[in-house]
């Protein structure tokens, strides 16, 4: 049976899937905190919330330790506990592996991997105070099926998936669950990084609101993971059981894209 969720924090809550997650959480009656690097998008999200929502808006860069400490302090002061942490903030990066500089690689992994790991650690006491509670890590289909032209981004999402699996096993005995979600391409500003892939494959983009609703359903049901319906689930199974088939298909795709 779905459990009632009271207090949630969504990182990257100013745009895209993060904004949709905040709006859907409020629609479901949850109290919401949202954080992000830029105040203006956060304020736009807050303006779209129903009257009386009373969110906590926290302008913070979670890759910075002092900002993370401020997020933790704000939630501790306001609520004293946290039912769900949604690690949604991230960057999308495409490009050939031999064309990515050190700064780009460090920013990618600092944002997509190190920051959610550190924030989860920092919020552990507040999650423990709300048990049963949950961590939600927003990954990507590229965290299961590594795509040519997105080697670094895929690696960051593989790392987040590995963190999720290990943390789930580590924290289950203490009453904190972990859900890893893997959306496919979604209609957000970040999708511009996938423009060439979208055009070449003819893939359709999911609506952020529908993605957010599916994520919250998975969270309320205590699921360990959530993947899109349709062929993507089959592709993930093939990747795990017969990866050579995926190798051949994606190698041909990469060669066609280079011509």
**Marked catalytic residue, from 147, 153, 180, 227:** 153
Nearest-5° Cα angle at 15, 12 to 21: 70
Phi (first) and psi of residue 160, to 5 degrees: -65, -35
DSSP state of 188: S
Longest dimension (CA), the chain: 57
CA distance 169 to 176: 10
CA distance 8 to 218: 15
Residue with tokens 């479901």: 28
DSSP-assigned beta bridge partners for residue 9: 33, 85
Packing angle between helix 39-47 and helix 16-27, nearest 10 degrees? Answer: 30
180 a catalytic residue: no
Burial of 4 (0-12, 13-18, 19+ CB in 10 A): exposed
CA distance 252 to 237: 20
Q: Do you find a cis peptide bond into 164, omega within 30 degrees of 0? A: no
CA distance 226 to 198: 22
CB 50 within 8 A of CB 26: yes
Positions marked catalytic: 153
């Amino acid at each position: 049976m779905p459990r009632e969720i009271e207090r949630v924090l969504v990182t990257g809550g100013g745009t895209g899937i993060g904004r949709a997650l905040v709006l859907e959480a409020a629609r479901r009656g949850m109290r919401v905190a949202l954080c992000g690097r830029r105040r203006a998008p956060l304020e736009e999200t807050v303006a779209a919330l129903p009257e009386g929502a009373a969110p906590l808006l926290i302008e913070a860069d979670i890759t910075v330790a002092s900002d993370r400490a401020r997020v933790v302090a704000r939630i501790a002061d306001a609520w004293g506990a946290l039912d769900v942490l949604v690690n949604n903030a991230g960057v999308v990066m495409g490009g050939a592996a031999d064309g990515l500089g050190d700064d780009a690689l460090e920013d990618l992994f600092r944002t997509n991997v190190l920051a959610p790991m550190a924030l989860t650690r920092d919020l552990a006491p507040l999650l423990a105070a709300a048990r049963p509670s949950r961590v939600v890590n927003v990954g990507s289909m590229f965290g299961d099926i590594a795509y040519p032209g997105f080697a670094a981004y895929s690696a960051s999402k593989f790392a987040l998936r590995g963190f999720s699996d290990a943390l789930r096993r580590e924290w289950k005995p203490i009453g904190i669950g972990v859900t890893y979600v893997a959306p496919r391409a979604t209609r957000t500003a970040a999708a511009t990084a996938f423009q060439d892939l979208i055009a070449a494959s003819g893939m359709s983009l999911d609506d952020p609101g529908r993605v957010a609703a599916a994520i919250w359903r998975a969270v309320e049901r205590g699921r360990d993971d959530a993947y899109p319906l349709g062929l993507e689930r089959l592709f993930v199974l093939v990747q795990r059981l017969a990866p050579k088939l995926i190798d051949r298909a994606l190698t041909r795709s990469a060669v066609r894209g280079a011509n």
